[in-house]
Structure 1
Amino acid sequence: MEKKYLYEINFVRAIACLLVVMVHVGARFYGAYDESHTTLTNFFNQISRIGTPLFAVMSGFLLYNQMAKKHFKVSHFLKSRMVKIISPFVVWSLFYLAFDYFNGIEVFPDWSNSSEVADFTYQFITGESYFHLYFISLVIQFYFLFLIIRKWMNLKTITFATILSIYVNYLFVTNNFEVNNEYVNSFINSRTFLLQWIYYFMLGALLVKLWPYIHQFLLKKSNQMFTLITGLFVLIFSVLDYHSHQQIINSNENLLHFITIPIAFIVLISLYYQLIFWKDFIMEGFIKLGNMSMGIYLIHPFVITLYQWYAPYDVFAEPIYIIPFHIMVVFICIVLLKIISFLPFSQYIVTLVKSNRKNIQYNMAESRNLIRSSN
């Protein structure tokens, strides 16, 4: 049987994935309702915006956890990232460019015009080929940062770096910086830039160092309940905050996330420890969804568009339809990813982590026994 895997993190990734899809489904309702939200669609759209910061936290967490658990080799790491991240990024950037082109949108430059080619190259590299690909460009920046600072990251330096990153992150999301180069100027003031998200990445690294304490704390059922109640109050506060200004705030620009994201992480871990006492197939589903999360992230805008075009009903007829719209998009994404997984060289197209049911059940049983013995 395999060693203990942190399926808790798979669960967090699954929830983050569902939230990100909801943000983009909600955005379609916003557009359909003359660029305004109903109370229901505004709730789903805004409360789901913790999904992208949670993905950024997971990037930091998984990188540093990998380094802590294994003998780290830079050559193996670079080769792995080339297959799992950079190749799918290129493939889907080209796919979405072609998709727009065949739908009458002019996306390719005049190749004889150096200025247009430069603009196109900048947009491709920074993930502007389609609205969601910026995050993959951001993840690649996380990898470069990780390679630079990994050797100096003990608990003290990570704690200091995380505290410092709060200020740096705040500085970049609340100010507009001017430099002479138009591309650099555009880049550092965009949500693609590393320092617009640096806090969440460093928080992920810090959570790896704090994991033994978090894990031990949440084994107690009384602490689980306290955590969930705290999370409920934070959720209510967030809803009131969104309702008070009734406007869309991008995930990296909401300063409230500096507080809510670490709380959301702890709450979701606590929720995992509660749900593993339910039916195994429910948690197995979430864990497998977490393994497919990057693939779902890459293809879900395409699926959203197709469903909007071809659904056998008016998907925007009622605000409540946002729920079946979301469910169907996730379901179709899963089916498409299963189909893609059978294609030759599928590992270069989408990032899919294989799930082993016996290992999942074994590790959930192990967690249940630890919780029982701690109470």
Structure 2
Amino acid sequence: MEKPAKMDELDLVRGLAIMGVMLVHATSFATVYLREDRFFALYNFINIFSKFGTTTFIFLSSFVLFYNYFRRPLGKELFIRFYRNRLTYILLPYLLFSVLFFTLSWADKGREWELAVMFQEFWPKLLIGKAYTHLYFIFINCQFYLLFPLVLVLLRRYRWAAAWSPLIGITLQWLFYTGNDAWWDVTYRNSWSLSFLSYYFLGAWLGIYFDSVKQWLMRARHASRPWLQRLGWGALWIVWIGAGATHAAFRYQERLHGVDYHPLLLDAFWNVHTLATALVIVQSALWLSGVHNPLLKGLRWLGAYSFGIYLVHPLVLFVYRKFPAMSDHSWIQLAWYAGGLVCAIGISSLLVYGISRTGGWTSVLFGRLPSNMRSAERGTASAASEPAGSRAESAATIGHKVREEESA
């Protein structure tokens, strides 16, 4: 079987996605507490336009899975390794960080240390990804891992479904959205994978047809009708900017002036914007694949450690917010929020990098990281490294490179 090509560009994609997550979390308090501030429009725009991090990681996770597995011979041993890796490199870090953040939140609220009461509150939150605000994403991906073998078999069997998978995903997601709005009223709707099926199926489609889609994303000069291809690119980018800006404008009116929009209208603009973002970021990463400068190098480095950074950065923000700005002046507030973003990126990435250098044991905290991944490669003669089984497809990452997870 031919080995899938390596794609180092995904480090850049993951770096941009984790930046989206950071921007949203760094500005979240500003959108609540600074509604009369002169820079509120800026905070609001950054907060809303950057809401593509989680969805991009879901898209990338699905892309890696289907890119690696769609044309592989399937068997019992393959799926045993598949789920064993997820248990080791995803569920275990999820459990440990759930305990950490739940305990931290409990202590911050000044509650009494009664283990029975703590366990009674902890387990329901653990089971739906609510032990802390950012952990729901891993819970969602675990649901997609359970669905993966079934979806893989169906798309291999019915190739028409593979070709139309983005439309299938959008349809199923919106059936859930509209049904939930009309009848079900599911608690914590965004903790369930049904809310993100469009991104999962878009990733599956790109993974299955990547070679063809890559040509469309990159090669206008040698296309039979380059003007048509460029027109398609322009339409994609216009939709991306337009949907994101409109969503931000609606949220501004809602937050500042109390304008009441139907939730499904807001969902629609967010869905269009984030789906377009996934393709725009992939195209940008492909265009920049041969470019080397400090900014892109930094983004690729962030992407390589994105799962650990995703898990750790709320802890940095939690501590940072214990020291609020000493003035209500707009510029000082702006500097303080910018400082939170810098600390969240810098301290969390250095913590993850530094701890990961201490040995392979850190996989229980951050999944499989580049440092110990290289060790695994040197120690395994017949198997390629395992991006799809590590941090690669977890809540905030995709593998270090896209390639076969294990030898056939």
Equivalent residue, structure 1, for 2:68: 66
* One of 152, 155, 167 as aligned partner of 2:154: 152
Equivalent residue, structure 1, for 2:281: 268
Equivalent residue, structure 2, for 1:292: 305
**Alpha-carbon offset, residue 168 of structure 1:** 2.3
**Aligned partner letter, 1:83:** T
RMSD: 3.5
Which digits, 9 at most, give the CA deviation of each residue in 1:76-119, with x for residues without a partner?
A: 111111121100000000010121122235497762x7xx8665
* One of 334, 337, 341 as aligned partner of 1:326: 341
**Alpha-carbon offset, residue 229 of structure 1:** 7.5
Distance 2:315 2:80 in 1: 34
Equivalent residue, structure 1, for 2:82: 77
* Conservation of the 8 A alpha-carbon contact between 1:61 and 1:205: yes
Equivalent residue, structure 1, for 2:100: 95
**Aligned partner letter, 1:85:** I
1:326 partner SS = helix
Q: In 2 relative to 1, CA 52–251 (structure 1 residues): closer, same or farther, beyond 3 Å?
A: farther
**Alpha-carbon offset, residue 22 of structure 1:** 0.8
**Aligned partner letter, 1:349:** L
**Alignment length, in residue pairs?**
347
Which digits, 9 at most, give the CA deviation of each residue in 1:123-181, with x for residues without a partner?
A: 111111101111111110010000222222234223445423322211323424767xx
1:296 partner SS = helix
* Conservation of the 8 A alpha-carbon contact between 1:197 and 1:252: no
* One of 278, 287, 301 as aligned partner of 2:314: 301
Is 1:140 matched with 2:146? no
Equivalent residue, structure 1, for 2:22: 21
Aligned positions of 1:1-375 closer than 5 A: 4-33=5-34, 38-68=40-70, 73-106=78-111, 111=116, 120-154=122-156, 155-174=159-178, 175-176=180-181, 190-220=189-219, 227=233, 230-231=236-237, 234-246=240-252, 247=254, 254-279=267-292, 281-310=294-323, 317-319=332-334, 321-343=336-358, 345-354=361-370
**Alpha-carbon offset, residue 236 of structure 1:** 4.2
**Aligned partner letter, 1:33:** L
List runs of 5+ in structure 1 lacking aligned partners.
180-184, 358-375
Q: In 2 relative to 1, CA 48–333 (structure 1 residues): closer, same or farther, beyond 3 Å?
A: same
Distance 2:81 2:264 in 1: 32
1:167 partner SS = helix
Equivalent residue, structure 2, for 1:360: none
List runs of 5+ in structure 2 lacking aligned partners.
256-260, 375-408
Structure 2 length normalisation: TM-score? 0.74
**Aligned partner letter, 2:241:** L
Q: In 2 relative to 1, CA 273–178 (structure 1 residues): closer, same or farther, beyond 3 Å?
A: closer
Distance 2:137 2:154 in 1: 26
Distance 2:194 2:108 in 1: 35
- State percent identity of aligned pairs: 20
* Conservation of the 8 A alpha-carbon contact between 1:294 and 1:352: no
Q: In 2 relative to 1, CA 273–162 (structure 1 residues): closer, same or farther, beyond 3 Å?
A: closer
Distance 2:207 2:28 in 1: 33
* Conservation of the 8 A alpha-carbon contact between 1:300 and 1:330: yes
**Alpha-carbon offset, residue 238 of structure 1:** 2.2
2:204 partner SS = helix
